[in-house]
Chain A
Amino acid sequence: MIQAGLKEISAALAEKKISAIELATLFLGRIEQLNPSLNAFITTDRDKTLAMARAADERRAKGERGPLLGIPLAHKDIFCTEGWLTTCGSKMLANFVSPYDAHVVSQFKAAGAVTLGKCNMDEFAMGSSNETSHFGPVKNPWDTSRVPGGSSGGSAAAVAACLTPAATGTDTGGSIRQPAALCGLTGLKPTYGVVSRYGMIAFASSLDQGGPMAKSAEDCALLLSGMAGFDERDSTSLQRKAEDYSRDLNKPLAGLRIGLPKEFFGAGMDDDVRAAVDAALDEYRKLGATTVEVSLPNSGLSVPAYYVIAPAEASSNLSRFDGVRYGHRAAVYGDLVDMYCKSRAGGFGEEVKRRILIGTYVLSHGYYDAYYLQAQKIRRLIATDFSEAFKKCDVIMGPTSPSVAFAFGAKGADPVQMYLADIYTIAVNLAGLPGMSIPCGFGNADMPVGLQIIGPWFAEAKMLNVAHQYQLVTDWHRRRPERGA
């Protein structure tokens, strides 16, 4: 059961081959055994987990059914979880026990899923390596001297090492897809507005989107069906009919048109990543797909545009952490402004401070037009590039990350080097499109490589179909690191 996907676990629960209590106990034991070396979880709570499992078993005994009833899941520590510590990877919230549930968490609770714990992450989701977490970096289960990616690195490492069958993540510039790629998982960032942001601690509100991280496209489809849905408490939640994201999994791919942006296949991608991506494209051709070159001429501007827009939104969102209503307050301070300044200085780590300062600067008087407004115009150009490209293809493919997982400290002291780790993922967030990463082979040092699949708005079911058909004829997604065996 440790290695099983959600569908298999769900079937075993339905056939009463295993109970939710037994499953929860199994995974809690594994977390106890392996988490000290991986640091994937910030919080576990055996009593709460077992109580949820017991409740799921009781619901089943009363005749209730449902694909998620009794399924153990882990949540990125960005999702508010009532009664649980919810830290967002920050000292600022190191003592924050959430008084309410995020929409995503309440959806999963209602479906009877069992929370195994809260996963480590880059502080306030700002990072691509998990090195900015106040609770220490997460280790990549494939090689513990390497990063798991970020910011949803704890979720990724936990699934890869089979500490949980699946987990939630969030993606503002690649934070689901990049760690999924670096840890050999399937991860999906939905179209902006599909998953409610209520109770998901805000980083950059026009970009943030929650999504599933799991062992297969099939599992992601099941989870997304549970996560998605209209929520009036999120003003950007879209009023759309509920979807069964598994509905198209088994459609054949004959005739599928795959767009290959020439900008994604130029210099910048490591050779080992290129080889794995090329081999995956050959596999798709065998499945009946055709490939066509497309162009995203402004995609090279996505990282700089993002590092104006995301910090601007972050500086506004993170102004709520003032040491007054919750979170860290400095021990010694003078007047009110001094209390704000000292509490924020003590509660935030350095990457968060940098982004708050950049954001404050680009929004300040005299600079707004030159930076923020200009970045928003470029965002439009980037989004338009995608609309043009999708006239020629059904999905776009390319690498998720320019390299396999790198060593701790490899990106050094220059923040811009780290920012470039998301060079292929950020444009997708700016355009609000859905994006996925699926495992497509191994590169240098036998580390996993991810293939990115990008679709038009609301094409999640199609993308999951495209991913699932590949996973039916390949077994990259079934490979587990030794410690996950």
Chain B
Amino acid sequence: MSLNPEEVRRIAQLARLELSPQETGRIGDQLNGILTFVEQLQAVDTAGVTPMAHAIDVVQRLRTDVATEPDRRDAFQAIAPETGGGLYLVPKVIE
């Protein structure tokens, strides 16, 4: 199967990536090359095989529900693009 420019734009929108029209064409071609390459996986019979999500089969470790991290808000906000009053600033989302 092959992605058309409309599908490439839809995926880019899902990924929150703005693509220029030139990029949509060029990257679209490359994506189709990669998808053709991974297509060979479809031919493999995997009936009854358990998917392997992780390299090592271990049970998820849980920790006690206690605060362990110190408050380092100032250090973290010092590297933010825009802050104010201890908050991260973004364009208005609620009118």
Closest to B60 in A: A235
Asked whether A377 lies within 8 Å of B17 as measured between CB atoms, the reply is no
Residue pair A307, B58 in contact (C-beta under 8 Å): no
Distance to closest chain A CB from B53 (angstroms): 6
Interface status of A364 (Cβ within 8 A of chain B)? yes
Tell me whether B16 and A380 are in contact (CB under 8 A).
Answer: no
A233 to B67: give the CA distance in the assembly, Å: 13
A357/B41 in contact, CB under 8 A: no
Residues of chain B with a CB closer than 8 A to A419's CB? 34, 37
In the assembled complex, A5 has its CB within 8 A of some CB on chain B: no
A429 to chain B, nearest CB (A): 8
Which residues of chain B come closer than 8 Å to A370, judged between CB atoms? Answer: 42
- For residue B44, which residues in chain A have a CB less than 8 angstroms away from its CB? 298, 301, 374, 377-378, 381
CA distance A419 to B35 in the complex (A): 13
C-alpha spacing A301/B75, complex, angstroms: 45
Contact of B34 with A415 in the complex, beta carbons under 8 Å: yes
Please, how many angstroms separate the alpha-carbon atoms of A350 and B76 in the complex?
28
Given contacts A376-B51, A380-B49, contact A232 B31 (CB under 8 A): no
Nearest Cβ in chain A — how far from B37, in angstroms?
5
Q: Which of B19, B33, B58, B88 lies in contact with A415, CB distance below 8 A?
A: B33
Determine the main DSSP class of B at the interface with A.
loop
**What B residues does A322 contact at CB under 8 A?**
16
CB distance from A331 to the nearest CB of B (A): 10
Asked if A111 is at the interface (CB within 8 A of a chain B CB), the reply is no
Provide the bound-state CA to CA distance between A378 and B41, in Å.
8
Q: Which of B12-59 contact A (CB under 8 A)?
A: 12-19, 23, 27, 30-31, 33-35, 37-42, 44, 46, 49-56, 58
Q: Tell me whether B41 and A304 are in contact (CB under 8 A).
A: yes
Quick check: is A416 within 8 A (CB to CB) of the other chain?
Answer: yes
Give every chain A residue within 8 A of B8 (Cβ-Cβ). Answer: 357
- 0/1 per residue, A342-366, Cβ < 8 Å to B? 1011001010011011101100100
Q: Is the CB of A415 within 8 A of B30?
A: yes
Interface size in chain A (residues, C-beta < 8 A): 74
The CA-CA distance from A416 to B29 in the complex, in Å, is: 12
Partner of B18, one of A335, A341, A414: A341
Q: Is the CB of B81 within 8 A of A374?
A: no
Q: SS class of chain A's interface: helix, strand, loop or mixed?
A: helix
What residues of chain A lie closer than 8 Å to B78, measured between beta carbons? 99
Once the chains bind, are A326 and B80 in contact (CB under 8 Å)? yes
Which chain B residues border A344 with CB–CB below 8 Å?
15-18
Given contacts A301-B41, A305-B41, contact A358 B55 (CB under 8 A): no
A358: which of B34, B40, B41, B56 is its contact (CB, 8 Å)? Answer: B34
The answer to whether A360 touches B15 (Cβ under 8 A) is yes
Residues of A within 8 A of B17 (CB): 341, 344-345, 348, 353, 356-357
Chain B nearest CB: distance from A294 CB in Å?
A: 20
Once the chains are docked, how many angstroms separate the CA of A220 from the CA of B52?
30
With A301-B40, A336-B93 known to touch, is A350 a contact of B27 (CB < 8 Å)?
yes
Within the assembled complex, what's the spacing in Å between the Cα atoms of A286 and B92? 72
Q: In the assembled complex, which residues on chain A have CB atoms less than 8 Å from the CB atom of B49?
A: 377-378, 380-381
- Please name the residue on chain B nearest to A356 by beta carbon: B15
Interchain CB contact under 8 A, A457 and B41: no
Contact, CB under 8 Å: B33 / A416: yes
A329 within 8 A of B: yes
Contact B37 A307 (CB under 8 A): yes
Interface string of A280-308 (1 = CB under 8 A from B): 00000000000000000010010111011
Point out the residue from B35, B51, B56, B60 that lies within 8 Å of A373, measured CB to CB: B51
A375 at the interface (CB under 8 A from B): yes
A148 and B80 alpha carbons, distance in the complex (Å): 34
- Shortest A286–chain B CB gap in Å is 35
Cβ distance A80 to chain B, nearest Cβ, rounded Å: 12
Please name all residues of chain A whose beta carbon is closer than 8 Å to the beta carbon of B23 when the two chains form the complex. 350, 353
Chain B residues whose C-beta falls within 8 Å of the C-beta of A373 in the assembled complex = 51
For the complex, give the distance between the alpha carbons of A381 and B47 in Å: 11
A311 to chain B, nearest CB (A): 8
Q: Pick 12 A–B contacts, CB within 8 A, sort by A.
A: A99-B75, A301-B40, A325-B80, A336-B93, A341-B16, A344-B18, A350-B27, A357-B12, A373-B51, A375-B41, A383-B52, A416-B34
Closest 6 interchain pairs by CB?
A432-B55, A376-B51, A192-B55, A377-B46, A329-B81, A345-B18
Q: B residues near A, CB below 8 A?
A: 3, 8, 11-19, 23, 27, 30-31, 33-35, 37-42, 44, 46, 49-56, 58, 60-61, 63, 72, 75-76, 78-82, 88, 90-91, 93
Seed contacts A298-B44, A378-B41, A380-B52; 17 additional CB < 8 Å A-B pairs: A99-B72, A304-B40, A308-B41, A319-B16, A323-B81, A335-B93, A344-B18, A356-B15, A360-B11, A375-B38, A375-B41, A377-B49, A377-B50, A414-B33, A416-B33, A432-B55, A432-B56
